[in-house]
A and B are shown apart, each in its own frame.
Chain A
């Protein structure tokens, strides 16, 4: 199946399934600044996924921020700094905690679940979860449609590529980019999962084929938003950078306090809200 046909099929499946979101207020996380909700919404499968949603108090509309899930069983709750400035939605994809009724993802294991066939690969559904979250966020009346960002790893690129309503993309990590090469660099997880899977008898061709549908450099040409890519090795990221239309590059310093502050300020400036450091001096 071609790349375009693969993803068109995901979009078609998603379009046929109503999200039926349910929101519940969380009093413990609701403050004078923002109201906090849990969200449960249907994605492909059908499967109910989970989100943490916060909406600033006061007169909107507000800029929107979608945080795509990291690789791991838990995602942090959106930080109060973000909750005070953005309509922020943090998604738990299928299998992550709070979205694990019926399917609990294994770590290690998730990265290679169903990977021998692109049609059964777990990340096909996870990508759909992100797209569903994007549709939900953009549909909220409190969100300013001209100011919607997505932040995260490759899933942020994929989401922005397939949902053109985003004006801004902030990429802070990479998982699928050149994964079949990156897996050879060390025995560190999660990419070591690919090596583990190959030791179990799978073929490199099968893995390469499936992963090619998720490599952000293949999605990048469709991204219309302003994009910031935080990179450790710009040379390594060359093909991704060249595929993105006019990306900005931030060279990570590994002084993560400084890095966090830069990334926060970059997005805040785009959306005309104050920059805020998580470390209160």
Chain B
């Protein structure tokens, strides 16, 4: 290998090695996440997953006396690993779905089975008081999403009971949380076939709609849709009061200021003690940097002092010029 190529190889190795190690570590963690948990209902659930765990399923048509292979529609598929790492991983399928589903072919009337919503289980339960489900419901009822209930909108549209997991409280990786939470919105708002189940609105291009936003990529990577599209509330961690699009925040100063709203939304969960270093809203600096919201009080004092000294020296110089004229 020529010396230059060798040096480039070493340089590349230094850059690539941490990424590979980080990638392997993450992969290991995510695999562990899904395999560490063993459900007490694993065998029972597997009867369902056998068909609903993937697209292809097989059954014996007893009338015809032959084996049939077919494909499930995507809404009927539940990913095993997502389910066993989700909030409801300890559930048996029949905790929420009818026992009658254990029979195959499933009885036709089960298609009309009533679905639970969050409050049916979590409402009024002290064990879940920390999550403030009642307040979340009160906010939801004021949100634009609530107006779509007649069209079939429910909690599940955002919080898929088979895969949803709390991310903000449990993760230390904010970027992952942002991506996870934004994907919940994008699941419908960037998928017109899903969106038109709920609304008559025309197909929208989210990037074009946010053309006014400078550095779109950085913003979309660093904040969640709900930062601008909800009205924040001090008593709950995640606002569920989705406001009409006309009322969404468009003022840069709302985030880029000393009293940044990010401190009452995205960074609400972190303790302000986590980072100081003389920075205003310093906790943001652990993950990002927001011009206007992250000012350093020491730099402010130093710069103001230097500026004052310069002005004072100029004034003294002018005075001497006048006196010695």
* Real binding pair: no
Q: Which A residues contact B (CB, under 8 angstroms)?
A: none
Q: Which B residues contact A (CB, under 8 angstroms)?
A: none
